């Protein structure tokens, strides 16, 4: 119990909030971070939709006519899919893909 309390104190002393780090960024850096957050949100949404429907990665890949490894890489963020790939996935999930500029 004593070690746990001590560990919490050490973590608290050596931890900074994401907001405090973000405040030190210039406009260009903030724009890059915002873009990464939006990209991550798309990945999370894709994975959530797949799971909500009850598809495995393999089932989604088969329905979208893609290799399973492509789905795995997209969901992990290690592959940047083309719009055509995203359209195939959206169709397989019975969803529409919307791209907005603005």
What is the domain partition of the chain in residue ranges? 26-97
- Residue 89 CA to residue 93 CA, distance in Å, equals 6
- The fourth-level CATH superfamily of domain 26-97 is lambda repressor-like DNA-binding domains (1.10.260.40)
Under a CB-based contact definition with an 8 Å cutoff, are residues 89 and 83 in contact?
no
pLDDT digits (tens, 9 = 90+) for 67-87: 999 999 999 999 999 999 999
| Two tokens, residue 57 | 């990665």
Per-residue model confidence as pLDDT tens digits over 1-39 = 677 888 888 888 888 887 777 788 899 999 998 999 998
| pTM (2 d.p.) | 0.71
């Amino acid at each position: 119990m004593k070690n746990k309390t001590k560990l919490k104190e050490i973590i608290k002393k050596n931890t900074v909030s994401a907001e405090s780090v973000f405040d030190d960024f210039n406009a260009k850096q903030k724009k890059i971070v915002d873009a990464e957050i939006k990209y991550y949100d798309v990945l999370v949404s894709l994975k959530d939709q797949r799971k909500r429907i009850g598809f495995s990665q393999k089932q989604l890949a088969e329905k979208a006519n893609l290799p399973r490894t492509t789905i795995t890489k997209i969901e992990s963020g290690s592959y940047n899919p083309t719009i055509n790939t995203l359209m195939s996935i959206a169709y397989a999930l019975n969803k529409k893909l919307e791209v907005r500029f603005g």
